[in-house]
């Protein structure tokens, strides 16, 4: 279905950019997970418009209201409905776009498909819709962390032609959030800011690449053959607006290596069988290996630029277009929490699907603390892992 994502941890998002509100219903979240509105705020703030001069100046507080499914700070196991009201929509800025198709935006295709469209702020095609996924993703994040010790972190590795140098093994949330473009490489950050500012000054826009790492992912997630973990991660992140590419592990660079160069040899570490390197990106045969899951998502330069463009209106008349309204000259820094959200939603769904099929994942140490399953679920040398049922 068009606005539903997930099989067991399932979300349904609704709302338009300039409607009264956006929202999401999360169905399938297990009971007794500690959850408050404040838990959603951290990620929503990172997605929010108007957070710096490098993003759209639209000002939204994005305070989530949890309408159901939570009682006394804990999930009930019933559907969790969350509402985020729109406060700063300026629909008059879009009046001229009622009958006009912005080049490379969704105006033309929405009208072709539905025969009707809410042109205000891009309607349902607006990235404002992603507020719903980020709210839901924050719940998935809590579930993953609380139960399985899994953490998910995204950061910018490229803007336009500026590449960052980042070590995915050691990168921290602090380093990422210290950068206005969410790039943990300081030198690259400066060049990226300049690039975005220059594009904005020229009435233009730029794209880039977000990398995402999920650490402590239990081994065994993913359902071959059609619902392989990397296939579902790709589907999840490619449903975000403005995405143009997905790569896992070495991605497209793998083609320039030979098999000998690309293979991750197995070894025994701390009594468990593990790959010595992780060029695969933590997924083998569509199933998580217990290694860090690492993937990248490419975002195009956003289409609503202030520079003059040629287009036509719905009657085919030529239009000399200058897009008004408030727009992001580069969506990539704000896309980081979006990529994380689609990653946490996909992993949470696969965790529940894996447990439904194969039984509970062992994730707790003797003191009952959550810990990554990395060692707990690894195959011991000389032993078959066998079924983890019960």
Q: Which residues bind ligand FMN (CB under 6 A)?
A: 56, 105-106, 122, 125-127, 240-242, 300, 302-304, 327-328, 331, 334-335, 338
Neighbouring CB atoms inside 10 A of 379's CB total 16
Place of tokens 């309408």: 67
Residue 241: CB minimum distance to ligand FMN, A: 3
- Residue 243 CB, shortest distance to ligand FMN, in Å, is 6
Query: Could you give phi then psi for residue 137, rounded to 5 degrees?
Result: -65, -30
Helix (H) or strand (E) run with residue 111 in it: helix 107-114
Please say which residue, 307 or 360, places its beta carbon nearer to ligand FMN.
307
Cα 239 from Cα 333, distance rounded (Å): 17
Residue 281 has, within 13 A of its CA and on its CB side, a CA count of 21
How far apart are alpha carbons 242 and 88 in whole angstroms? 23
d(CA 63, CA 82): 10
User: Helices H, strands E: what count in the chain?
Assistant: 8, 18
CB of 166 to ligand FMN, least distance (A): 20
* Least distance to ligand FMN, CB of residue 262, Å: 31
Nearer to ligand FMN, 124 or 354 (CB): 124
Q: How far is the CB of 206 from ligand FMN (least distance, A)?
A: 12
Nearer to ligand FMN, 232 or 328 (CB): 328
Query: Whose Cβ is closer to ligand FMN: residue 30's or residue 50's?
Result: 50
Q: Which is nearer to ligand FMN, 235 or 262 (CB)?
A: 235
DSSP string of 290-338, one letter each residue: SSPEEEEEEEPPPS--SS-EEEEBTT--EEEE---S---S--HHHHHHH
Tokens of 248: 């896992």
d(CA 47, CA 213): 18
Other beta carbons within 10 angstroms of residue 262's beta carbon come to: 16
Say how many residues make up the chain. 390
The distance of closest approach from Cβ of residue 205 to ligand FMN in the complex, given in angstroms and rounded to an integer, is 8
Position of minimal CB gap to ligand FMN:
304
State in angstroms the smallest separation of the CB of 327 from ligand FMN.
Answer: 3
Closer Cβ to ligand FMN, 53 or 269, answer by number: 53
Nearer to ligand FMN, 117 or 228 (CB): 117
């Amino acid at each position: 279905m068009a606005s539903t994502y997930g099989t067991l941890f399932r979300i349904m998002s609704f709302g338009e950019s300039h409607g009264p509100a956006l929202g999401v219903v999360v169905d399938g979240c297990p009971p007794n997970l500690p959850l408050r509105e404040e838990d959603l705020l951290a990620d929503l703030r990172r997605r929010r418009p108007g957070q710096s001069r490098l993003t759209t100046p639209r000002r939204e507080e994005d305070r989530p209201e949890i309408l159901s499914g939570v009682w006394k700070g804990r999930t009930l196991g019933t559907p969790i409905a969350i509402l985020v009201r729109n406060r700063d929509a300026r629909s008059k800025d879009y009046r001229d776009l009622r009958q006009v198709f912005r080049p490379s935006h969704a105006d033309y295709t929405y009208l072709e498909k539905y025969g009707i469209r809410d042109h205000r702020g891009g309607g349902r095609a607006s990235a404002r819709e992603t507020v719903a996924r980020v709210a839901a993703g924050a719940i998935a994040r809590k579930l993953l962390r609380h139960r399985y010790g899994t953490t998910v972190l995204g950061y910018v590795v490229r803007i336009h032609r500026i590449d960052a140098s980042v070590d995915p093994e050691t990168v921290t949330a602090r380093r990422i959030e210290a950068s206005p473009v969410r790039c943990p490489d300081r030198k690259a950050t400066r060049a990226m800011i300049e690039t975005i500012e220059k594009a904005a000054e020229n009435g233009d826009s730029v794209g880039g690449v977000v990398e995402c790492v999920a650490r402590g992912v239990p081994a065994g997630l993913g359902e071959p053959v059609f619902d392989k973990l990397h296939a579902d991660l790709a589907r999840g992140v490619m449903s975000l607006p403005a995405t143009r590419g997905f790569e896992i592990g070495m991605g497209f660079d793998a083609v320039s290596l030979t098999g000998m160069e690309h293979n991750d040899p197995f070894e025994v570490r701390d009594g468990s069988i593990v790959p010595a390197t992780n060029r695969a990106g933590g997924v083998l045969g569509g199933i998580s290996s217990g290694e860090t899951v690492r993937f990248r998502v490419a975002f195009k330069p956003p289409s609503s630029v202030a520079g003059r463009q040629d287009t036509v209106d719905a009657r085919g008349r030529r239009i000399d277009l200058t897009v008004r309204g408030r727009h992001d000259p580069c969506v990539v820094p704000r896309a980081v929490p979006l990529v994380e959200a689609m990653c946490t939603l996909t992993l949470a769904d696969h965790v529940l699907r894996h447990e439904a099929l194969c039984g509970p994942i062992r994730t707790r140490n003797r003191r009952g603390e959550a810990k990554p399953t990395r060692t707990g679920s690894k195959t011991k040398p000389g032993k078959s892992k066998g079924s983890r049922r019960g």
